[in-house]
A and B are shown apart, each in its own frame.
Chain A
Amino acid sequence: MKYLTLNEEILLLTIWRLKNDAYGVSIREEYSRATGKNIVMGTMYNSLDYLVKKGYVITEKGEPTAERGGRSKIYYRVTKSGLEALKKAKELHDSVWESIPGSIFENLER
């Protein structure tokens, strides 16, 4: 199983955090709130499509609203294998960061 890229990891976490409200617009907002950066819409959808294809998230059709020109939302939800992938990513982070003391950044702050 391949590791997630950082971008995919953030997207997955965002979707998880948004619970039942994870669709294009909210994911974008949450993403930029968490990272402080705006994501290009095209890149985002491309990655979302990839996650769907891999089975990490599933989609669900929502209600159409007037604000969207009558177009329905697509909601994303993290699947079990998505959670497993996140877990693996976390474990990777932990094992890589283990035994690295926080003091390595001290010099940077000055």
Chain B
Amino acid sequence: MKGLDEKPPVLLEWMLSRIGYFENKYSVAGDFEEIYLEIFRDKGKIHAVSWYISQVMKTIPLLLFNYIYWSTAMFKNQIKIALRNIIRHKSYSLINIMGLSIGLVCSLLIMLYINYEYSFDKFHINHNRIYRVLTEMNIVYQDKTVVNGTPNVIVEVLKNDYPEIEYAAKVYNDPDSDLLKIGNREFNEDGFYFVDPDFFKIFSYPLVDGDPELSLGEPFTILITKEIAKKYFGDENPVGKVLNLNNRYDLKVTGVLEERPENTHLKADIITSFKTYEKIRGDRYSITWDSFNYSSYFLLREGADIQAVENKLQEFAPTKFEDVVKKAVSNFFFQPITEIHFYNDAFMEFETGADKKNVYLFMVAALLILLIACFNYMNLSTARAVTRAKEVGVRKVIGAKRFQLVKQFFGESFIFVLFALIVSLAAARFILPVFNSYISRDIRFSLLSDYTLLLILAGLIIMIAVVSGLYPAFYLSRIRPVKIIRRIVGRDSKSYSVFRNSLVVIQFTISVTLIICSIITFNQLQFIKNMDLGFSRDHIINIQADNSVEKYDVIRDKLSVYPDILEIASSDQTLTGISNAQLGDWDGKSEDERLVIYAIEVDKYFFGLYNIEFTEGGSDLENYLEDGVKRFILNETAVEAMGIENPVGKNFGATGDDQNGIIAGVVKDFNYAPLHMKIAPLYIDLSSSNRWISIKISGERVSETISFLETVWKDIYPKTKFEYRFLDDDLNRMYKSEQRLLKSFNYFTAIAVFIACLGLFGLASFTVERKTKEIGIRKALGASIPTVLLMLIRNFINLVMLGTVISFPLGYFLMSRWLEDFAYKVNIGIATFLFAGTLAALVAVMTISYRVISAARSNPANSLRYE
């Protein structure tokens, strides 16, 4: 017969077999083939095939319906079982949910933090087209080779000669605070910004009232935010009113700004026209290529090529530099505004930006903590295999496929994670304000309103559920019903216990590594704090003065009579804040030699007050200012760098300042910069400059002394505010970021150790549960409590110790890399590791013992009656 050997296409048969959940699949396929053949004979292959396909396709809706129907039924059952399990094993559930919640809280906060850091300056409508001009230097300035400062003229050049640029504006932030006053309301204000008229065309700081273009084009105009307006004017409308600046200039308020967003590097709350600045400081700051004081921003035209503009400027600008400038300045480059927050390499930056390292550190820490929590879940769920085995067995006997069981256990881990999520969302809300003050940011709780965050959160949840559910799901679903009947599930096969044990080891490796990091960070900070800096640091107060020689003399006289004031000296910068540097020039300097040398101006009392020792010269400081010859004092490093023999009496000069004089002495090196850096060359210029006054007090009756200081101060400097700083505090402030790091480490360590111990506690509980009988028998046969304890604890302690040992090289490696940043660093001693290890072991033993001791002490009669 024709077509007897004709067969339906294999693909279609396969499709049929996939959808076949019908009872007699095999026979159904036979029926299909028979009909297929019949149609084939009658009408040909095409009809037969299309019939086959249409039949298969038409079955799909039915199939879907059935699938959904049965899986919801199953799902309900699984949820019910999961909830029952959570409720029945309360301590187990608590440990899991608590661990996961803590891990999630950390992650949530850090997600918010990272999101916030990356949101900086993105509120400007044109943030994609706003750029800043930076200056690359040939010399190092405070560890930096880039200045957030450009010549005055560059804005004019950009605006007039470059058609690609729409608007450009200078911005100058006064580094000192200024006194603003109306009537009897006066405050020192820090955020003074002098800007060009285009400022508001580039940036999107919304205005409540006033005309920015008009006001920024005029001198002596000022715009303030609502908040500041309230401070001075209460509820009155400030526009048109006059504020007094530093008791000298009257500024007309021409506009009120909306409250400024916190996430910007330009924290401009008080905006004054640049013309005002020119009037105040005089004409010498106007059109020139060789001062680098002003930041320049511009708005690129849409579609313009930033690189081309940059190249053009880089070719043009150097032709304008004078020879002196050429030595110090290399060129200009552009930086997108959105990158500024993460950029910490510029001198004269407006804000201390974020450190990407910190962001990554936080991220890694959060992930590690999450990982530890996931491990807890994995370990505890598989440790409970004995209890779950019966359920799995029954399900399997009834006909559950392995895949269905896997799904069930995944579902369970999902439910746990969801619980944890709810707990952690609530907790994160409460903790956020604390977290904010800790990292000094203003982060809003935007988790559920921010689309991207929500997506990331969902991804995170799925990831946690899968990671923590993976192992239990496959382990538990593997159990064979036969094994359950033969009661051999409790006895783990080797590979499983190895896997579980290694999870514990990893948890403690992470925890102990964190402990080591904390300890070493702490040690390093202590080391820095106690290091001999080469000058005295106790009981010294610095006060900002106004650089007037007459007043300084008066105040010296008045203060020195007070018994608790020991010494008084003046300088142009604080000793810990030396930020001026020049190019040095000396006898015997070769043409291409170049030495960046830091500079400070002090009076003759300075050395005595700070106990700075002379190694050469310095005996007749009294007479130095008399004869009109400039005299410089160098530190040892400077002498060494210049390579001068017998320096006293030789010529020395600073090119930037155009000063020449002779070397009058050499002082011993002292650490005036943070200890990340080696001591750099420094010259001390004897002068009468007194922007800062240092006062050494006896250290007794401190508050009385300070109030005395204040009265005298008000008398002599009625117009400047009395603000004082202790040198000690200034020194500590230098290591703020390290201190913050230490604090972060401490928190992360505490959390990690806590979660790891939670897991250990859970595992110990299960061991005790499982070995109740064994303990009873041992005790009945005469084992002592310590023996039983040891038996129960030994395995755990071994794991903890193993983790500790692994963490030693890890911690050493990480911390020696961190310490590389310091020029002066503490030795990483063996004691640190021993301490960390002992600490971890102690905490672990205490955790386990808490659960185990009661079991070891229990009466064997009770435990043997168990069952």
Contact = CB atoms under 8 A, between A and B. Distances in A.
A80 interface: no
A41 B59 contact: yes
Interface in A67-82: 67-69, 71-74
B23 A73 contact: no
Given A46-B22, A46-B62, A67 B34 contact: yes
A42 interface: yes
Interface in B15-37: 19, 22-24, 26-35, 37
A50 to B, nearest CB: 10
B58 interface: yes
A68 B30 contact: yes
Interface string A84-100: 00000000000000000
Nearest to B4: A66
B52 to A, nearest CB: 9
B27 to A, nearest CB: 4
Interface residues of A, number: 23
A69 to B, nearest CB: 5
Contacts of B58: 40-43
Q: How large is the interface on B (under 10, 10 to 19, 20 to 34, 35 or more residues)?
A: 20 to 34
A16 interface: no
B589 interface: no
B55 A69 contact: no
A69 B33 contact: yes
A23 B31 CA distance: 8
Interface in B637-686: none
B7 interface: yes
Interface in B389-443: none
A24 B55 CA distance: 14
B63 interface: yes
A45 interface: yes
Contact of B55 (A41, A61, A64): A41
Contacts of A66: 4
Contacts of A59: 23-24
Contacts of A42: 19, 55-56, 58-59, 62-63
A67 B33 contact: yes
Nearest to B7: A69
Given A42-B55, A45-B28, A71 B33 contact: yes
Nearest to A45: B22
Contacts of B37: 67
Interface string A25-55: 1001000000000001111011001001000
A59 B122 CA distance: 72
Contacts of A71: 26-27, 29-30, 33
Contacts of B27: 23-24, 61, 71-74
A41 B62 contact: no
B28 A24 contact: yes
Contacts of A73: 27, 30-31
Contact of B32 (A23, A41, A64): A41
B279 to A, nearest CB: 90
- The interface centre, meaning the residue of A46, A59, A66, A68 with most chain B CB atoms within 10 A of its CB, is A68
A26 B739 CA distance: 86
**Interface residue SS majority, chain B:** helix
Contacts of B28: 24, 41, 45
Contacts of A46: 22, 62, 66
B34 A25 contact: yes
Given A40-B55, A40-B59, A41-B55, A25 B35 contact: yes
Contacts of A72: 26-27, 30
Interface in A2-39: 23-25, 28
A49 B28 CA distance: 11
Interface string B260-303: 00000000000000000000000000000000000000000000
Contacts of B34: 24-25, 67-68
A69 B58 CA distance: 23
Contacts of A67: 4, 33-34, 37
Contact of A69 (B19, B30, B62, B63): B30
Nearest to A23: B31
A43 to B, nearest CB: 6
Contact of A24 (B4, B7, B19, B31): B31
Contacts of A23: 27, 31
Contacts of B35: 25, 28
Interface string B58-100: 1100110010000000000000000000000000000000000
A73 B62 CA distance: 24
A72 B760 CA distance: 59
- The interface centre, meaning the residue of A43, A46, A71, A74 with most chain B CB atoms within 10 A of its CB, is A71
A68 B55 CA distance: 17
A49 B33 CA distance: 20
B256 to A, nearest CB: 73
A37 to B, nearest CB: 13
Nearest to A69: B33
B23 A49 contact: yes
Contacts of A40: 55, 58-59
A48 B19 CA distance: 16
Nearest to B58: A40
Nearest to B52: A41
A77 B764 CA distance: 62
B780 to A, nearest CB: 56
A61 to B, nearest CB: 8
B571 to A, nearest CB: 93
B35 to A, nearest CB: 6
A71 B35 CA distance: 13
- The interface centre, meaning the residue of B26, B28, B56, B63 with most chain A CB atoms within 10 A of its CB, is B28
B66 to A, nearest CB: 8
Contacts of B55: 40-42
A52 B30 contact: no
A42 B31 CA distance: 12
Contact of B31 (A25, A43, A61): A25
Contacts of B26: 71-72
Nearest to B55: A41
Contacts of A25: 31, 34-35, 38
Contacts of A68: 30-31, 33-34
A46 B37 CA distance: 23
A38 to B, nearest CB: 10
22 contacts: A24-B27, A24-B34, A25-B31, A25-B34, A40-B55, A40-B59, A41-B31, A41-B58, A42-B62, A43-B58, A43-B62, A45-B28, A46-B66, A66-B4, A67-B4, A68-B34, A69-B29, A71-B30, A71-B33, A72-B27, A72-B30, A73-B27
Closest 6 CB pairs of A and B: A42-B59, A24-B31, A71-B30, A68-B30, A74-B27, A40-B58
Given A41-B58, A42-B63, A69-B29, 18 more contacts: A24-B30, A28-B35, A40-B58, A40-B59, A41-B31, A42-B62, A43-B62, A46-B22, A49-B22, A52-B23, A61-B27, A69-B30, A71-B29, A72-B27, A72-B30, A73-B30, A73-B31, A74-B24
